[in-house]
Structure 1
Amino acid sequence: MILVLTNPLKIDRKSRSELIVSFKDYSRNYNLRDITGVVILGSSTLIPSGVVSLLSSMNIPLIISNKLGVAVCSPTLVVMLSEVREKQYKLTDEEKLEIARNFILARFSGLSNLLKYYKLDPPQLVDNNDLLVWEAINSRLFWDKIFNLFPKEVRDIGRKPRHSDPFNKSLSLAYALLYANVLGLYFPSVLIQLMGSCTSLGTLQPYPLTFQKCLSQLQFTP
């Protein structure tokens, strides 16, 4: 999208991929990953040189329009991030499913290599037209094999997310942490931008309830 700013007081960098724009009564953050250009309308905006360098490094042109004329600071390279995102929008459902299947296959390949390292034969993948069912069936097959690498007391219980043993508690905690970090990175910077707007999300819990529950139940003994 093209970010048009009318009479901002200051534009500064918040991180390597985010700007903070200050207006008279409020400030707002903008993620640069889906911005194809920045247009400033006005003649009294303070712009540090670091902002210009940041925009240039991400191939984002900066245009300043005021009563004297129009100044265009164009990078020498084409904008690539937004072009890739546009192509993602145009993927068919079949193409999206194929990409997702390849991601899952990469995980199965990693588990296969782990089993082979410990001289265990990996399971044969089972076919299914439904991606979720296919992933669930084969994940269970790999889990059953992976559990042979664990001590007997862990093997006897298996993977039970709500079980009270230390292994399952620790694994559930790890999943919750991973989920929280992925969600924290993916949702604000991508999903909001996919809708073509920058909105305030308000106050969010830093971690999901799953993590909070696991953390409260998990007890470590020296």
Structure 2
Amino acid sequence: MIFIVKGIAKISKRGSTIVVSIPKRDSQRNIVWESQSIPLLDLELLIIVGSRVRLSSGVALMLSEANVPVIIHSRRSDCLLMNPFNVRIAEARRKLYNIVENPSWRVSIGRNFIEGKLSGLANLVRYLAYKDIEKGIDAKWILKEIASIEELRKNEINNIRNVDGLRLYEAKWSKKLWELLVTFVPNEYEFTGRDPKSKDPINSAISYAYAI
């Protein structure tokens, strides 16, 4: 993104976000400052027109570290501020976008995320089963079920060639693993499986954890 600031304005920073504030008059003719936020990752060039824009030193340093050039244009001359030694974040981001647009890379990246999630669920079920066995509870059937699921998953994941197939794969095996987890949750929690719309304590806690 190329962002142009002109007239009276203040440019500051909030975290990794550029904040541009411009004075306006409200209905009572009082001056109020309206702000616009621009994420640093979206910014490739900042152009300042005129001499009435205030740029904080914090913004100048942040733009320099991110290798985002700043052009200051006036009637008499132009000034260019840039750091020639850093690798541009925008350039690296552009290459990442190109990777994601490649269908085979999308499947490969998605497969790794989904496999990590499903493996984590399987390990949790396996851990809880071992704990039950230590208490004398018969949970060996769960270990056998997990072993069977893991074997079937490995055979199926290798044949997936598109994102839609990945979505179906994740939904199918997540459901089976959540069904096994239900056996470890006391009945008073009314947990019957993963359902984002359910209001039981377990689903509510999981949804909250996902949200943060």
The verdict on a shared fold, with TM-score over 0.5 as the criterion, is yes
Cα distance in structure 1, aligned partners of 2:206 and 2:196: 11
Give the direction of change, closer, same or farther, for the CA distance of 1:158–1:103 in structure 2 (3 Å limit): closer
Pairs within 5 Å for 1:21-60: 21-25=20-24, 26-60=34-68
Amino acid at match of 2:207: Y
Give the direction of change, closer, same or farther, for the CA distance of 1:162–1:19 in structure 2 (3 Å limit): closer
Give the corresponding residue for 1:175: 207
Identity of aligned residues (%): 29
What SS does the aligned partner of 2:55 have?
coil
1:153 CA displacement: 4.8
Give the direction of change, closer, same or farther, for the CA distance of 1:6–1:113 in structure 2 (3 Å limit): same
Partner of residue 103 from structure 2, selected from 86, 93, 103: 93
Cα distance in structure 1, aligned partners of 2:92 and 2:125: 36
Is this contact kept in 2: 1:97–1:131, CA < 8 A? yes
Instruction: Say which is worse superposed, 146-155 or 107-116, in terms of deviation.
Output: 146-155
Is this contact kept in 1: 2:185–2:191, CA < 8 A? no
What SS does the aligned partner of 2:5 have?
strand
Give the direction of change, closer, same or farther, for the CA distance of 1:143–1:159 in structure 2 (3 Å limit): same
Amino acid at match of 2:185: F
Give the corresponding residue for 2:136: none
Q: Alpha-carbon deviations, 1:167-205, whole Å to 9, x = none?
A: 3xx5246426744x5xxxxxxxxxxxxxxxxxxxxxxxx
1:134 CA displacement: 0.5
Give the direction of change, closer, same or farther, for the CA distance of 1:55–1:157 in structure 2 (3 Å limit): same
Give the direction of change, closer, same or farther, for the CA distance of 1:135–1:8 in structure 2 (3 Å limit): farther
Q: Give the paired residue count.
A: 175
1:11 CA displacement: 0.8
Largest Rg, 1 or 2: 2
Cα distance in structure 1, aligned partners of 2:191 and 2:203: 16
Is this contact kept in 2: 1:16–1:54, CA < 8 A? no
1:162 CA displacement: 5.1
Give the corresponding residue for 2:180: 145
Higher strand share: 2
Cα distance in structure 1, aligned partners of 2:124 and 2:210: 21
Give the corresponding residue for 1:5: 5
What SS does the aligned partner of 1:110 have?
helix
Is this contact kept in 1: 2:65–2:86, CA < 8 A? no
> Are 1:157 and 2:192 matched, yes or no?
yes
Give the direction of change, closer, same or farther, for the CA distance of 1:154–1:23 in structure 2 (3 Å limit): closer
Is this contact kept in 2: 1:21–1:29, CA < 8 A? yes
What SS does the aligned partner of 1:60 have?
coil
TM-score normalized with structure 2 length: 0.69
1:79 CA displacement: 1.1
1:24 CA displacement: 4.1
- Any stretches of 5+ residues in structure 1 without a counterpart? 182-222
TM-score normalized with structure 1 length: 0.66
Root-mean-square deviation (CA, aligned residues, Å) is: 2.8
1:71 CA displacement: 2.0
